[in-house]
Chain A
Amino acid sequence: MAEDNILIDVQNLTKHFPIRRGIIFERITGSVQAVDKISFTIRRGETLGMVGESGCGKTTLARVILGLMPATSGHVYFDGEDVCSLKGEKLRLLRKDMQLVFQDPYASLNPRMTVEAIVRTPMKAFNLYSNAEQKEKVGEILNTVGLTDFHAKRYPHQFSGGQRQRIGVARALAASPKFIIGDEPVSALDVSIRGQVLNLLKDLQDEFHLTYLFISHDLSVVQHVSDRVAVIYLGKLMELATGDDLYREPLHPYTQALLAAVPPPSPRARRTERVVIHGETPSPANPPSGCRFRTRCPKAIVECAEIEPPLKEERPGHVVACIRV
């Protein structure tokens, strides 16, 4: 039963980028550890939120999961199939079921294609419908995302940011996928538009039984859409729990600090205890030994530099990687 319910199973996923020196006689002098031994699962119909500061490897993780970048090691099972071992045409065919919504609605749409051509890209790629049906389908999908068929013949530069993002969502929906990764899909949008796109994503999930991996650096956005939330720091999974548990009772000092940094809705609602972290995120090319957060952690002790904290299930369904919990 449990196995059957899992759509995405990420096991020990690692992505290191080699640092090369020299022009002709290249040698590898180190590596940026963008994603390091991350494991988690996503159930069907669930939204997993993923938060972390910029540069913590969220985007890399998304791209490796989709097979857009090869993994250094580890596995990603999508519906039982190992994405990391697939290549070429087999990998391409898998993309029908997993799609991506990009962060930047300006960079991610080809400026020389009409909206119709953009939304048809996945349909054409997988020979989904006849020509006429494709056009009809484009109209339907545009309606679904809150645009209309009279937008189909326009070019991306004729739309606002929020509208463009909806075109991006429409494109991701076009091949009727099972799984969509939103890579900061609302961070480029104005706050007023953000809610619209977030609600749209939620409605679409109900309507098409979609599974989401929702990446963001904004805790309140993630809280709004996610069933469970994963916290990433420097390429490592720090804590993973249901949204309610995580926001009510964060266990990891990093999560506590992140939550403390969210401005309270009213001045009186300010919690008494406030964890503040100082300093810059260390370079992922040279991460701290042991726990990666220890250099900024207010609770760090000597052992934190020696032991790489394993993920342990502290409460049912609430895992955390910290030896001080």
Chain B
Amino acid sequence: MPRPINGITEADRLPRRHPSLWRDAGRRLLRNRLAMAGGIIVLAMVLIALLADVLSPYDPIKQNYNAILEAPSLRHLVGTDALGRDALSRLVHGARTSMTVGIFTQLIVLAIGLPLGALAGYGGGRTDNLLMRFTDIVYAFPELLMVILLQTIFGGSIYMLFLAIGLVAWTNVARLTRGQILSLKEREFVLAARAMGATGAVIIWRHLLPNSLGPIIVTVTFGVPRAIFLEAALSYIGIGVKPPTPSWGTMVQDGYGAIFSFPHLVAFPALAIALVMLAFTFLGDGLRDALDPRGR
């Protein structure tokens, strides 16, 4: 038996919580007030989106010609639009559109960007060169133009809109993942894993990905409001979500013609867009600080 080694004290034996880096980050996030405010708003928006049918007082696409362009009142809390549709119900259902766009496009972004970036970073050499030049080409293309092009090709269904936005927005995640993997690959613990006999798959899954996930989570969080904004912009110029499906972008556009007579029709959806964007940005900032405490 080896000689006993000092350094283990009685205090060492006491049961303690053993925080992983993830749990540490979670604690830091919970302590960040601004980020938590953002998180609560995001959570509320998700709930509103999920429960849109229950929460909205009226059918969002039902037109009522007896209540056209009403100002906010007790019956219609944020008024009605030019077709007599209840604006609150449309706002609530608009949240559903926006959140779906935000989340689904980021899922597509992850599905394309993560494996592509990981492959480029881990493979290196020619694979890396090829994949990254392709990424550069997509990145160099004007985002809006590309989405408009794809929308024209795919036609206007909302799923195609996810796909269109996802297909232009993945480049950031791909580049970030590649950079992360590239720098982690040279770290000693990865070499150690290789020396211990770990296979390539184990190295990617257990060593490279978990350690590169932090910045990727942050980027994706920032990606959600960007996608929401892009959808709103597209809907505003009439090639996003097709009427009568409610979307904040279309609502702004609908109300824009009479902005001086009926400002509430523009103000509320615009506020909703701004609120969601801010909430996600605060949450993203908080996540960044929490996941990389040295980066501040």
Give the interface size bracket for B toward A: 20 to 34
B189 CB–A CB distance under 8 Å: yes
Contact of A200 among B5, B18, B195, B197 (CB under 8 A): B5
Contact yes or no, B197 A126, CB < 8 A: yes
- Distance (whole angstroms) from the CB of A131 to the closest CB of chain B: 16
A68-B2 contact given A125-B197, A148-B8, CB 8 Å threshold: no
Contact yes or no, A110 B197, CB < 8 A: no
Contact yes or no, B195 A155, CB < 8 A: no
Mark contacts of A92-120 with chain B using CB atoms, 8 A cut-off: 1 yes-contact digit, 0 otherwise: 11011001101010011111111001000
B50 CB–A CB distance under 8 Å: no
- Distance (whole angstroms) from the CB of B209 to the closest CB of chain A: 10
Contact yes or no, A146 B207, CB < 8 A: no
A121-B18 contact given A104-B188, A112-B210, A112-B211, CB 8 Å threshold: no
Contact of A100 among B1, B18, B22, B195 (CB under 8 A): B195
Contact yes or no, A155 B21, CB < 8 A: yes
Q: B1 — which chain A residues lie within 8 A by C-beta?
A: 203, 207
Contact yes or no, B199 A146, CB < 8 A: no
Considering the chains assembled together, what is the distance between the CA atoms of A166 and B2 in angstroms?
A: 13
A160 CB–B CB distance under 8 Å: yes
B66 CB–A CB distance under 8 Å: no
Contact yes or no, A122 B21, CB < 8 A: no
Contact of A155 among B4, B20, B188, B198 (CB under 8 A): B20
Contact yes or no, B199 A125, CB < 8 A: yes
The residue on B at minimum CB distance from A147 is B8
Q: B188 — which chain A residues lie within 8 A by C-beta?
A: 102, 104, 107-108
A112-B20 contact given A99-B196, A126-B197, CB 8 Å threshold: yes
Give the interface size bracket for A toward B: 35 or more
B19 CB–A CB distance under 8 Å: yes
Q: A155 — which chain B residues lie within 8 A by C-beta?
A: 18-21
Q: A145 — which chain B residues lie within 8 A by C-beta?
A: 2, 5
A144 CB–B CB distance under 8 Å: yes
Contact yes or no, B2 A162, CB < 8 A: no
Contact yes or no, B189 A109, CB < 8 A: yes
B140 CB–A CB distance under 8 Å: no
Q: Which 3 A-B pairs have the closest CB atoms?
A: A146-B5, A125-B197, A203-B2
Residues of A within 8 A of B (CB): 66, 68, 92-93, 95-96, 99-100, 102, 104, 107-114, 117, 121-122, 124-126, 144-148, 150, 153-155, 157-158, 160, 162-163, 166, 168, 171-172, 174-175, 193, 196, 199-200, 203-204, 207
8 residue pairs bridging A and B, Cβ less than 8 Å apart: A95-B196, A112-B22, A113-B206, A114-B18, A121-B198, A163-B7, A203-B3, A204-B2
